[in-house]
Amino acid sequence: MEEDYIKLIFGLKLKQIRTDKNLSLFGLSKLSGLSKSYLNEIENGKKYPKPDKIVALSEKLDVPYDQMVSLKLDKNLAPIGDLLQSKILKEIPLELFGIKESNLIDIVANAPAKVNAFISTIIKIAQHYSFSKESFYLASVRSYQEANNNYFEDLEQSVLKFAKAYHVDLNNIITSSDLAEILEEEYGYRIQTSELSKYEALGNLRSLFVPKTKTLLLTSEIDEAQRTFIFAKELAYNFLEIKERLYTFPWIKFDTFDQVLNNFYASYFAGALIIPREKISKQLNEIFANDTFDESLFLEAIEAYNASPESFYQRLTNILPKAFNIQNLFFLRFTHKAKSDTFYLKKELHLSHQHSPHGNETDEHYCRRWVSLKVLKDISKSKKKHEFDLQISNYENDGMQYLVLSSATKDPFKEKQYRSISIGLLINKQLQRKLNFLDDPKIDTQNVSVTCERCAITNCKLRKVPPIVLEKNAKNKKIQSIVEELNEKFSS
């Protein structure tokens, strides 16, 4: 185990022994002859006593020396030992949220036995279900985004500084050739645009950066928008002076959390460069000011940038919370194969923490009334490059309504596969003030649920399976009601 963890475990054991004997720090100081401040540092895991000091503590506390120095904790503190040895705390970027590991250990150490048991249960669940380092890292980044409403002013300012330094006109469409020139001339890059295509086993790998020679390898299958985004990310790594980074896109391997976090920073920078804040804010103001939803105006806004619809929708999750104070929103990305009736939720972001689902992994059937799935079915049957639709989704069980805008496009790397990108805005007074077109009668309103298994909508023609979860819950409630009646009947 690491030296810091050994100090922590000794400190936890000493504190437990002291409290079990009803001794204060002052009392232990008088008993052992060691200063109160020194004992406090030991208990907080900051210092590890020398052997002669351990001998003194062992004799005065009447605890065997071997027991004092053993890394084995008793059953009350055992979950903390499991926590330390599992290195989960090293996987979770606590510092990102302003939490010190030592403070967290102290909180856990002072927690009642039930909390320790809960920690032990979490560790066992993580081990049983192979809850990976990747899962921790990605969940941490999502939480970081949500905690900041997915808006980062320092990165927005960095884009403006970059544009000024390299005379990039943010009012014009940013092209890959514009960015390639800066990469080559300023940062000494060598760009090869077809090397990766020679290796079929690389699948959908789009780029690989070789740091030793500053060579950026690309697959010839990417389009102009994808190439521009990759170049923008490379510029972000250099301009922001990021050293700890990932070298492939999409990434296939990482070693540290910083690599994953910096990948997010670089992606944010790229999105903000290609879709500048001021320009998109003006477009949205124009769209929102109309009394009816102008679909052509919205599609023109998407096409006004050298970016994919996904990048545009992602950028909306940055701009809407800050520029329009629309913070109750969600972002979803689904994938779908032609002629299949299965839909996979691949990416999600929930700034409001209200919308369902949050990554449904129960093999249930997502509600077929969602516009996110409708556009996928539409594009799989048409020859269009881009299907768009919107709806007001009424979640009767939650008492909430969302305005959901959704676009579907073909997956450029997978034959006969499609993806949909959706952004949902909670309909409340704030949204009603900002969007004049919310009362547009042409916007379709659908009563929706989360999954068919949990849906109470009757006579749904799109239902795939019966509401078995709902029926089971209703049955259990009925049983509980009868049990209560019997208890009352035979209690008198």
Residue tagged 């129960």 (tokens): 362
Question: What span, in angstroms and rounded, lies between the C-alpha atoms of 169 and 163?
Answer: 7
Residue 192 to residues 173, 207, 387: CA-CA distances in angstroms?
23, 10, 33
For the question of whether the overall pTM of this predicted structure is more than 0.85, the answer is no
3 state DSSP class of 442? coil
For the chain of 492 residues, list the mean pLDDT of each consecutive stretch of 10: 77 86 91 92 88 92 87 66 62 65 61 56 60 72 86 96 96 96 96 87 88 94 93 97 92 83 95 97 97 96 95 96 92 91 88 65 81 94 91 87 95 87 94 95 92 84 84 88 91 78
Q: Is 412 left (phi over 0), alpha (psi -120 to 50) or beta?
A: alpha
Location of structure tokens 């619809």: 309
Q: What's the Cα-to-Cα distance from 236 to each of 38, 54, 89, 224, 431, rounded to whole Å?
A: 47, 53, 29, 18, 33
Task: List phi, psi (to 5°) of 445.
Answer: -110, 130
Q: Distances in Å between the alpha carbon of 5 and those of 11, 51, 85, 132?
A: 10, 18, 8, 22
CB-facing half-sphere around the CA of 250: CA atoms within 13 A: 3
Give me the pLDDT at residue 112, please.
46
Show the tokens assigned to 250.
């999409």
- Provide the strand spans (E) within 246-399: 248-249, 329-337, 343-350, 386-395
Three-class DSSP category at 420: strand
Q: Where are the alpha helices (DSSP H) in 21-112?
A: 25-32, 36-43, 51-61, 65-69, 78-86, 88-91, 101-109
Cβ atoms 205, 250 nearer than 8 A: yes
**What does the block give as tokens for 152?**
């980062």
CA torsion sign, 116 to 121 to 124 to 130? negative
Amino acid at 81: G
The answer to whether the CB of 328 falls within 8 A of the CB of 150 is no
Compute the 3-state secondary structure of the chain and give helix, strand, coil in percent, each to the nearest 5: 50, 15, 35
Give the integer Cα–Cα distance in Å for 223 and 308.
10
Cβ atoms within 10 Å, residue 483: 10
SS3 sequence, 164-229?
HHCCCCCCCCCCHHHHHHHHHHHHCCEEECCHHHHCHHHCCCCEEEECCCCEEEECCCCCHHHHHH
pLDDT of residue 16: 82
Q: Bridge-partner residues for 217, per DSSP?
A: 192, 208
* Those residues with Cβ within 8 angstroms of residue 123's Cβ, 6 or more apart along the chain or in another chain: 79, 82, 83, 86, 88
DSSP-derived letter for residue 403 is E
Nearest-10 Cα torsion for 477, 480, 486, 487: -140
* Alpha helices, H only, 222-276: 224-239, 257-274
Q: Is 160 exposed, middle or buried, given 0-12, 13-18 or 19+ CB atoms closer than 10 A? A: middle
